[in-house]
Structure 1
């Protein structure tokens, strides 16, 4: 029996029923998130003006994140994911590198809070005001938490035991995808979220690079392993090649996305420094270098 046939052997009988129910639940959750986010944004715009607080681009990003989440869990992407480990890895990278960042860019915290019932709002306010939560919201603590969550989820669900269990049990499979999206959302929120909630640029750089390295290490292990580390029944018709391709799909896209994001954060940091503190940049220039434009203008005015 081919690897493709064995890979989906668990999907007959009761498994199909459970998978169908979980699919309906996933669609319902996405619809609830979309409805709550839309209601919260509408209330914010009614109070502050259209496009204020949460801009149109953020609304588009959040909606796109929900659409990609559904597309990654259904349709052609889902069928490819069930045919091989490399397809499953591509599905995971969509969740980690597309869905998570888009949802984080949507700045959903305030809109979803505005859409929540009043008792739930009061409960959330008390939770946010609790001393342990306030400590976790500090930049350094939050960065450590986000990096740890991303690394833990990535490694946990790609160890042979948990991965096979998720393949065999639809409930665990749904929990796997949910935890990956939640970890990615947590990681990217301080990088792509509203400016008032972003961590300082140096912390964001350390956060991104610190989470990229363990992912690269895992991708390298899968790529260069001399033999399959997973049971053959959860791999494609060419088990070792399937595993190696999966490792590359984790390694290359993760490094590329994180490096581009880190470069954007670094350049944005330099531009802010030039706007806000031109005097410091001027003193940092080598002797004989022309002064910054802002510094020269300031000297002429004086």
Structure 2
């Protein structure tokens, strides 16, 4: 299990570094891999085990606090000054990607915990909304917000916003709807 987690983290950071090579769209793809693909898969892998954040830190890994932490991490790293720092310094890029993965793991672990399913639905739907909003803000901005991304900065930024809006919005919406479907099952269906 530990080797698998280390391999996933190394792969994620390597992909993030190679994809982001100056392009905002590459950065956004790496970000979406961290929070919408790797984090839920890791949360499923550790669910109920000793490394499950929902078991290790139950107050922190509760859906609404975890959603707030994830929102602060996501919005914080999209502040232009922090984005520039991560784009130009490998150590900061590693910190950025690691914080995306950690915040995503915390949130997905919290919402997948059986005792939190109702609050998990709300947390994932709220997260879907803020991801969609941030993606729209980035994609629809009339000027480049991230000037360090070169001469095609606006077009690159617009595409990155679309990636965030679609992948981030859809991943969390789908997760929230899947949890809601579990909640709405009759006790007989749930037992089967």
C-alpha distance 226-94 of structure 1, shift in aligned 2 (>3 A): same
Please report how far the alpha carbon of residue 178 of structure 1 lies from its aligned counterpart in structure 2 after TM superposition.
1.2
C-alpha distance 214-241 of structure 1, shift in aligned 2 (>3 A): same
Match of 1:205 in 2: 121
State the alpha-carbon separation in 2 of the partners of residues 263 and 215 from structure 1.
16
May I ask how many residue pairs the two structures share in their alignment? 188
C-alpha distance 174-109 of structure 1, shift in aligned 2 (>3 A): farther
Match of 1:178 in 2: 98
C-alpha offsets along residues 180-199 of structure 1, whole Å, 9 cap, x if unaligned?
A: 1110000000333xxxx433
State the alpha-carbon separation in 2 of the partners of residues 236 and 84 from structure 1.
8
- For the pair shown, the structure with the greater C-alpha radius of gyration is 1
Moved over 6 A (4+): none
Please report how far the alpha carbon of residue 243 of structure 1 lies from its aligned counterpart in structure 2 after TM superposition.
0.3
Pick from 238, 241, 250 the counterpart of residue 155 of structure 2.
241
Unaligned 5+ runs, structure 1: 1-31, 35-62, 114-127, 278-302
Unaligned 5+ runs, structure 2: none
State the alpha-carbon separation in 1 of the partners of residues 190 and 146 from structure 2.
53
Match of 2:168 in 1: 254
Q: What TM-score does the superposition give when structure 2 sets the normalisation length?
A: 0.85
Please report how far the alpha carbon of residue 242 of structure 1 lies from its aligned counterpart in structure 2 after TM superposition.
0.3
Match of 2:28 in 1: 89
State the alpha-carbon separation in 2 of the partners of residues 112 and 159 from structure 1.
31
Please report how far the alpha carbon of residue 276 of structure 1 lies from its aligned counterpart in structure 2 after TM superposition.
7.0
The answer to which structure, 1 or 2, has the higher relative contact order (CA under 8 A, 6+ apart) is 2
State the alpha-carbon separation in 1 of the partners of residues 165 and 8 from structure 2.
21
State the alpha-carbon separation in 1 of the partners of residues 10 and 186 from structure 2.
37
Match of 1:39 in 2: none
Please report how far the alpha carbon of residue 273 of structure 1 lies from its aligned counterpart in structure 2 after TM superposition.
3.7
After the TM superposition, which of the residue ranges 263-272 and 245-254 deviates more from structure 2?
263-272
State the alpha-carbon separation in 1 of the partners of residues 170 and 109 from structure 2.
19
Please report how far the alpha carbon of residue 172 of structure 1 lies from its aligned counterpart in structure 2 after TM superposition.
1.9
